[in-house]
Structure 1
């Protein structure tokens, strides 16, 4: 199973250069030339020998379209994120596993590994985390240094890229791997008598995560008077009117597309402007 999403922003992520394409060629799909990545090789597995048993999954991710060459497809199932759990802590952070799920098939429970496609693509394409000229508001820059931002995402790659961007401004990143972990941290601060907005400038959260997604996390924060005024930015690669409506429904302050440093900086600056 591949965790994947579509873009939501009008701007594509800036790519510094590509490296080590594990390409199996180009596929022409509906008039579009799509690069094909051998997913098995990308995650350290041996490539399948018989191409007749291979299948192609076409995905759109942050305004880029690519195909993943995979093995045989036994079943296609729709799984709710409520049934997806984080991987065991013993798996470490060097693998490509971002979550697991139990799938029932004819009374037999199968354990399915969910691959972090963000990590796969990050090892193929180097994302430029530099901040474009003219984006920074000189009046706000002094206010950024020493502040903290809570980043909630199940992808270690996403954490690294957000941290690489914000650290340029002297901003410290506090990391949580899912919504439940983040909510517990926020509640612990409140229970200790701390003001959440004194601890962090804002929270940047992914949409889809195991245990608790970004929508539910935002709803829980907004329903708690002790932290209801926390500035929340949804940082996602999902697209469509559904996502826009969910952002409005749960009360996010901003919606930005992943892996775009300028948008991350603009989110911080928007929070500072509202604070003033």
Structure 2
């Protein structure tokens, strides 16, 4: 199955396309922008002493990819007919991974407004998911693939020790807004930005909440740039994504001069062009926290 990523040509529409798939008794989804292709499952070479969620490696044309078994990640029993499984070949956090699933059904085009965050009553879903979509009388759980990868290999995540390589830094009086839907990543961003001297950071878990704050601030302040010197945003977020948020900021006369940096695991060539199209002042791929801090230094001197 080849993935056509040219459908959503216009940037900042607050829409995405989700590939729906099944694992065990659950129905799940992945943003099409994370997917390179979907292929029939192939024989896997096992790796000794690897993480329990890693099934092994597979050769795909000229590349060797790690295969992550989502049945193990999600606590389901192995497939009864593994020869019918599919591999979702994905690229995120600057690595390529093949995720084993049991069936791939179709692609849905939806708005981020249709996506809800799991709440405290969702019995642990929040640790696995970035959102829930209610569609066609079914619930589609958007998996947090970045967390799946970081749980297997913590080196692929954001690390405070990386910031320490920048040497001793002074405290900054600059005020930053950071928009990140992952609870884990908000905590890591807080720690790393604080270590870098940026401890006046206001966090939001989706673009809609951030936009409401920006709108309130510009209406309350004579010069909004005195209250907010820079905005960091993820791309994938419920209610309003980072591209749509950036587009709104850059189309607003009072906010347009505030630098916006997109910090996402999705900075592929296609996504980079979308970010440029909505006016982002910089784009850094997770988990490159040192590059993010260096760019912040440049933009708010």
TM-score interval (norm. to shorter): 0.7 to 0.9
Shift of 1:48: 2.1
Identify which of 82, 93, 102 aligns with 1:71: 102
Aligned to 2:77: 47
Residue 267 (1) aligns with residue 295 (2): yes
Residue 193 (structure 2) pairs with residue 163 (structure 1) = no
- Alpha-carbon distance in structure 1 between the residues aligned to 2:152 and 2:270: 30
Q: How many residues align?
A: 253
Please name the residue that 1:59 is paired with: 90
SS of 1:188's partner is: helix
Question: Does 1 or 2 have the higher relative contact order (CA < 8 Å, sep 6+)?
Answer: 1
3-state SS in 1 of match to 2:300: helix
* TM superposition score normalised by structure 1: 0.79
Distance 1:223-1:31 versus aligned 2 partners, 3 A rule? closer
Structure 1, 80-89 or 253-262: larger mean CA deviation: 80-89
- Cα distance in structure 1, aligned partners of 2:273 and 2:107: 25
Equivalent in the alignment of 2:138: 110
- Displacement, 1:30? 1.2
Q: Deviations over 1:237-275 (max 9, x none)?
A: 2244443333333221111111112111112111233xx
Where structure 2 has 5 or more consecutive residues not aligned to the other structure, the ranges are 1-28, 36-48
Matched ranges for 1:118-157 at <5 A:
118-126=146-154, 127=157, 128-131=159-162, 135=166, 141-142=169-170, 144-157=171-184
Unaligned stretches of 5+ residues in structure 1: 8-17
**Alpha-carbon distance between aligned partners in 2 of 1:236 and 1:255, rounded to the nearest angstrom:** 8
Q: Distance in 2 between matches of 1:64 and 1:164?
A: 24
Distance in 2 between the 1:135 and 1:182 partners? 29
| TM superposition outliers: structure 1 runs of 4+ over 6 Å | none
Post-superposition offset of 1:58: 1.3
Per-residue deviation, residues 124-182 of structure 1 (Å, max 9, x unmatched): 1113443368756x8xx43x435432211222333233223212123233221211111
Matched residue SS, 2:214: helix
Distance 1:163 1:217, change over 3 A: same
Please provide the CA RMSD for this pair: 2.9
Q: Deviations over 1:25-77 (max 9, x none)?
A: 2112113221111223223x22324234532211111321111122233x121
1:1-276 maps to which residues of 2 (within 5 A)?
A: 1-3=29-31, 5=33, 20-43=51-74, 45-50=75-80, 51-73=82-104, 75-82=105-112, 84-90=114-120, 91=122, 94-104=126-136, 109-126=137-154, 127=157, 128-131=159-162, 135=166, 141-142=169-170, 144-172=171-199, 173-193=201-221, 195-273=223-301
TM-score, normalisation: structure 2 = 0.73
Tell me how far apart the structure 2 counterparts of residues 176 and 194 of structure 1 sit (CA, whole Å): 23
| CA distance in 2 between partners of 1:265 and 1:239 (Å) | 17
Provide the rounded CA distance (Å) in 2 between the counterparts of 1:102 and 1:151.
28
Provide the C-alpha distance between the structure 2 equivalents of 1:149 and 1:185, rounded to a whole number of angstroms.
12
